[in-house]
Amino acid sequence: MTSERSNAPGTRPFVGVVGGVGPLATAYFLNHVVRLTVAERDQDHVDMVVLNHATIPDRTEFVLGRSEQDPGPVLARDARRLEEFGADFLVMPCNTAHYFTQQVLDAISVPFVSIIATTVDAVRDRVPGLRAVGLLATSGTSSSGVYQDAFDAYGVATLVPDEADQAVVTSIIYDQVKAGRPADLEALRGVVERLVERGAQAVILGCTELSVVAVDHGLLDEPLFVDSTDQLARATIRRAGGTVRGEAPGA
Amino acid sequence: MTSERSNAPGTRPFVGVVGGVGPLATAYFLNHVVRLTVAERDQDHVDMVVLNHATIPDRTEFVLGRSEQDPGPVLARDARRLEEFGADFLVMPCNTAHYFTQQVLDAISVPFVSIIATTVDAVRDRVPGLRAVGLLATSGTSSSGVYQDAFDAYGVATLVPDEADQAVVTSIIYDQVKAGRPADLEALRGVVERLVERGAQAVILGCTELSVVAVDHGLLDEPLFVDSTDQLARATIRRAGGTVRGEAPGA
């Protein structure tokens, strides 16, 4: 072997991605991990296995009690299968699916890097003295309280859109991105403005479908936005032993 | 269960992707499959498991005899692992890796959809009375003869760039796309012009890194180009029971 970065198993942590929720968001996550990794050649990238399990029952429908098809056991089984495949740690590029985190944790013995915890840490790093954050997410994520509970622990208020604005966000996620149609960026910006007027010092793109919109429209360059897919991609590269573009090696 | 498209195992063929060669090309392949699938909701997409095995030894280096690190057994093992994971058929979004197709076939019992055969069929469909086709690919693909052998069977000549032009193509693949840098599109167009002057009636983008360039620069809209990633994505969706945008269902 001429290189430490050979294909020998166990050389660097192997990433398992519990994905497909949704499929385009999973593809963007993979693309984002590759783009963000400092690499001169293929072998500098992190090894990953991505389960793009598109047919998992809808997460928000179940969280809101509108469907009896429980995605929790499916996500838990997928996570266990990825561990059995050889993954050294797991990520799940879907915020709403984190409602089922405990079921996933109960099914695996390898570490799980949470998109919620990673994003909360990033917001707190971004805004010193953080008091209030806006959350753009599915109704499932908002009503499940995964972000609110995490921010409550730091005395930070989580502001969610009012009912009319949440309907706009839901439509962008379900009727536009998941359906392969262009996103109504101006409508999204209106929702964001009203969160900022109410005191939001940062706005979380807390749905991986909104991360698709963020990449397509350059929102990642605006410091107001903290994108959950972007943060999970960075955490994934670091934990897998890669270097994130713009960061010091081993950061 | 309220839908035929439930998450029940075996409902629709489950796709295994022998990937990571290279990583960005694999991400583009996944993205392209999702974008090309007719879908109103997540559950309309095809289920896939993508092994993004970036640290596989370089294919071209081995094919050209410059490296003793043989990627063949690694690709064969990856394919077998994906079959064991539950994949109903396999694809490998890397043209050069198809030099090792027989090793992959020997390791698996599920069907394997070849990017070479799929692309050759697409070129023959595109150009009635085809006599000569240009090939843009790695030196490994060109010298391995995978495309030449396939076209020879139909009496079609495969034109490859001369040495100086191949160096341009190699640099775009290795020094630009694989290294995360912008591609020199004008240089690529010069190579294409000279293939057309020599009689090429179509030009194959026979390297999945060139497919990245094709998507980024809109080359898929130009009828001269037949893109191997695009063709493999279409074949994958059809075989997995999905519908390709712009095609009749079940085509």
Q: Look at residue A7 and tell me whether its pLDDT is greater than 80.
A: no
A173 shares its domain with A149: yes
Are A169 and A135 within 8 A, CB to CB?
no
Which residue in the set A2, A43, A53 is minimally distant from B55, CB to CB?
A43
Q: What is the pLDDT of residues A117-135, one digit of tens each?
A: 999 999 999 999 999 999 9
How much is the pTM?
A: 0.92
ipTM for the predicted complex: 0.91
Q: B212 and B185: one domain?
A: yes
For residue A2, what pLDDT is reported? 34
Report the 10 Å Cβ neighbour count for B149. Answer: 12
Count residue pairs from A and B with Cβ separation < 8 A: 158
Alpha helices, DSSP H, located in chain A: 23-36, 59-63, 72-85, 101-107, 115-126, 139-144, 146-152, 163-171, 185-197, 208-216, 228-239
d(CA B226, CA B214): 10
Q: Are residues B97 and B190 in the same domain?
A: no
Is B98 inside a domain boundary?
yes
Same-domain pairing of B78 and B61: yes
Residue B8, in any domain of the structure: no
CB contact under 8 A, A42 and B6: no
Q: How many domains does chain A have?
A: 2
Task: Tell me: do B99 and B124 sit in the same domain.
Answer: no
Whole-number Å distance between alpha carbons of A10 and B221: 43
Residue with tokens 């490859």: B160
Around Cβ B214, how many Cβ atoms within 10 Å? 24
Within-domain flag for B90: yes
Q: How far apart are the first and last CA of chain B?
A: 27
Q: Is A89 a catalytic residue?
A: no
Residue of A1, A2, A4, A7 to mutate, interface with B, max B Cβ within 10 Å = A7
DSSP H or E run through B133: strand B132-136
Q: Which of A23, A30, A85 lies at the smallest CB-CB distance from B81?
A: A85
For residues B37 and B56, state if they share a domain: yes
In a domain, B27, yes or no: yes
Out of B94, B122, B136, B150, the active site residue is B94
Domain shared by B102 and B131, yes or no: no
Chain A CB contacts of B23 below 8 Å: 34, 39, 42, 45
Q: Are residues A127 and A106 in the same domain?
A: no
The predicted pLDDT at position B11 comes to: 76
The nearest CA of chain B is from the CA of A43 a distance in Å of 4
What whole-number distance in Å separates Cα of residue B108 and Cα of residue B105? 5
Paired residues of A7 in beta bridges: none
State mean pLDDT over A222-228.
97
Whether B93 and B155 share a structural domain = no
Q: Which of A24, A40, A44 sits opposite B34 (nearest CB)?
A: A24
Q: Find chain B residues with C-beta within 8 A of A179's C-beta.
A: 39-41
Query: In terms of Cα–Cα distance, which of A20, A98, A3 is closest to B56?
Result: A3
- Does residue A26 contact residue A16 with C-beta atoms inside 8 Å? no
When pLDDT is averaged across residues A91-109 and rounded to a whole number, the result is 96
Nearest CA in chain A to B59: A42
Least confident of A7-21, A210-224, B127-141: A7-21
Tell me which chain A residues have a C-beta less than 8 angstroms from the C-beta of B54.
42-48
Host H or E run for residue B185: helix B185-197
Helix, coil or strand: residue B204: strand
Helix (H, G, I), strand (E, B) or coil at B17: strand
Residue B2 to residue A69, Cβ atoms within 8 A? yes
Using DSSP's 3-state secondary structure scheme, residue A16 falls into: strand
Segments forming the whole domain that contains residue A132: 116-228
Q: Is residue A244 part of a domain?
A: no
For B157, the enclosing helix (H) or strand (E) is strand B157-159
In angstroms, what is the C-alpha Rg of chain A?
18
Contact B42 A20 (CB under 8 A): yes
Q: Tell me the per-residue pLDDT of A157-203, one tens digit each, with 9 for 90 and over.
A: 999 999 999 999 999 999 999 898 999 999 999 999 999 999 999 99
Given a cut of 60, is residue B44 above it in pLDDT? yes
Q: Is the preceding omega at residue A22 within 30 degrees of 0, hence cis?
A: yes
Nearest to A224 by CA among A190, A191, A196: A196
B165 and B138 inside one domain: yes
pLDDT at B88 over 80: yes
**Res A248: pLDDT:** 86
Is residue B79 in a domain?
Answer: yes
Residues B19, B33: one domain? Answer: yes
Between B43 and A4, whose confidence is greater?
Answer: B43
Contact between A113 and A17 (Cβ < 8 Å): no
Which residue shows structure tokens 């604005």?
A: A165
A211 pLDDT exceeds 60?
yes
Express each pLDDT in B212-222 by its tens digit: 999 999 999 99
Q: What CATH number does the domain containing A104 carry?
A: 3.40.50.1860
Say whether B207 is catalytic: yes
How high is the pLDDT of residue B8?
Answer: 44
Q: In this structure, what token pair is assigned to residue A64?
A: 């809101």
> Residue A1 — very low, low, confident or very high, per pLDDT cuts 50/70/90?
very low
Q: Is the pLDDT of residue B4 over 60?
A: no
- In this complex, the residue of A23, A33, A35 whose CB is nearest that of residue B34 is A23
- Joined together, the tokens standing for residue B119 give 């692309």
Nearest CA in chain B to A47: B53
B2: chain A residues, CB-CB within 8 Å: 69
In chain A, the residue whose alpha carbon lies closest to the alpha carbon of B43 is: A55
Confidence of residue A251 (pLDDT cuts 50, 70, 90): low
Q: Which residue of A has its CA nearest to B22?
A: A42
Residue B2 included in any domain: no
The average confidence (pLDDT) of chain A is: 93
CA B182 to chain centre: 21
Check A56 against B42: CB less than 8 A apart: yes
Question: Does some domain include residue B3?
Answer: no
Does residue A5 carry a pLDDT above 90?
no
CA distance linking residue A28 with residue A17, whole number of Å: 12
Domain check: are A160 and A86 in the same one?
no
- Spatial separation of the C-alpha atoms in residues A55 and B33, rounded to whole Å: 15
Between CA A18 and CA A182 the distance in angstroms is: 26
Judged by DSSP in three states, B126 sits in helix
